[in-house]
Amino acid sequence: MDATMADGTALKAPQDAPLEPPIAATTASEPDLALPAEVVYALVCSWKGQKLDVNVVASDTVGDLKAMLWSLTSVPVDRQKIVGLVKGKLPGDEAEVVSLGLLQGGGAPKPFMMIGTPEGEEHREVGPTENRAAEVDIDYTAAQAAASAAAQGVRNRRKLKETIDSVTLDIMNPPRPGKKLVVLDLDHCILDTTLWKEDNFVAEHFARPYLHEFLRAVSPFYDIVVWSQTSWRWLEQKLMELNMIGEGAQHQYNVVTTVDRKPMFNVYSTRENGQPHKHEVKALGLLWAKFPDFYSSANTIHLDDLSRNFAMNPKNGLKVKAYKDALFNTHTDTELVYAARYLLQLVNAPDFTQLDHSRFKKAAKYPLPLPPGVVDPLTWLKKDDEAGPPPPAAPEGGGGAGEGAGDAEGGASAAGPSA
């Protein structure tokens, strides 16, 4: 297992501490990684005086080839100009390699050229994705056919297997036997990064309301992984500013590891207008493969403001409303209150994939009790009500989930913006 502690030692499950209760794997949510044999195409890329050998297979896409070139040259996909691979214009990123006619006479590798500037030579800080406002979100939890194609397609399963084989995770804190796993997005999920370029941007001042109350409430039952579509330097710096990790952390949350953008790979779908759409995905299978004795689809919940990040594991995704305009919404955003209550209700659920997480604010469908002795997170709202102006109720449509929610209004989780 390619999971290591900070000192380089391999992580192993304690032999005398079995999971309680045992978690049963679910084949419906964990893709089969057995792959069929595919034709391999040998290519040679000329770039800045270098000759780079690149091998792709039939189900790879143009986007996959670009991702390989990115890993070899540090030239981001959006800066690459590929010349000579095909006659005429290079097809879109969703086009499969098999359609490009790359076989060379005599079996010689196909030569082509790439032009582009590597990361680090542009003298520009790397932070959150800047074009979020123009990005398209796709609700894979509602689009069952698209979700099944994403999770079970040969190409996507192969990309997941390649990611598992190539990625090593650094362990901050060891997993705890018998605990569930919550995977948290960073940008616009627990932190408003709209103003990240400003000189006076300090993450602590833009944290989502109730962040530490949320973490304190779920930590006795859940280990934590933070997965962000950014660089690891940015990610860990912001977690330190949020007092979630490091010596300045307010509480010792069991953050097992952090995952940045590198293990994410592209998947392809179709927009409502019929046009192809490419986006990156957070495949939870990576974590299940690295920690098979601790986590599975049955005990993992993934909080994110973008549904498309659930493409490979839609039954484990809980979409929260994107947190923006922190300077104005500090006293009105209650998303993490309801998320905390729902995660506490899931503590005794045998299989998370059997529940509809999109309705986490509603009571009727989830009459699940809170763990004994746990304070209901809805009381946080009452305390704030006594201390100052009352926070707004959750969207109309029903009470908060489960017991003790009859005096608080709730509703289906508001759909986050398409950013």
Tens digit of pLDDT for each residue in 105-146? 567 888 888 888 888 775 444 566 555 544 666 665 555 556
Collapsed DSSP state (helix, strand, coil) of residue 59:
coil
Alpha-carbon distances of 70 from 45, 47, 295, 316, 393, rounded to whole Å: 12, 12, 31, 30, 46
Could you tell me the CATH superfamily of domain 132-410?
HAD superfamily/HAD-like (3.40.50.1000)
Beta bridge partners of 96: 61
Q: How would DSSP label each residue in 147-176?
A: HHHHHH-HHHHHHHHHHHHH--EEESS---
Burial bucket for residue 174 (CB in 10 Å: 0-12, 13-18, 19+): middle
| Residue numbers in the chain where pLDDT is lower than 70 | 1-31, 104-106, 122-151, 198-200, 247-248, 250, 271-274, 363-366, 384-419
Half-sphere exposure of 88 (CA within 13 A, CB side): 4
Q: Is the pTM of this model over 0.85?
A: no
State residue 189's pLDDT score: 96
Residue spans per domain, the chain: 40-115, 132-410
Beta-strand pair 300-304/317-319 = parallel
Of 213, 186, 151, whose CA–CA distance to 303 is shortest? 186
Q: Where are the beta strands (DSSP E) in 92-228?
A: 110-115, 169-171, 180-184, 222-227
State residue 376's pLDDT score: 92
State residue 328's pLDDT score: 79
CATH number for region 40-115: 3.10.20.90
State residue 204's pLDDT score: 85
State residue 126's pLDDT score: 52
State residue 20's pLDDT score: 42
State residue 250's pLDDT score: 62
Q: How would DSSP label each residue in 12-36?
A: ---TT---SSPPPP-TTTS------
Query: Are 71 and 119 a contacting pair, CB within 8 Å?
Result: no
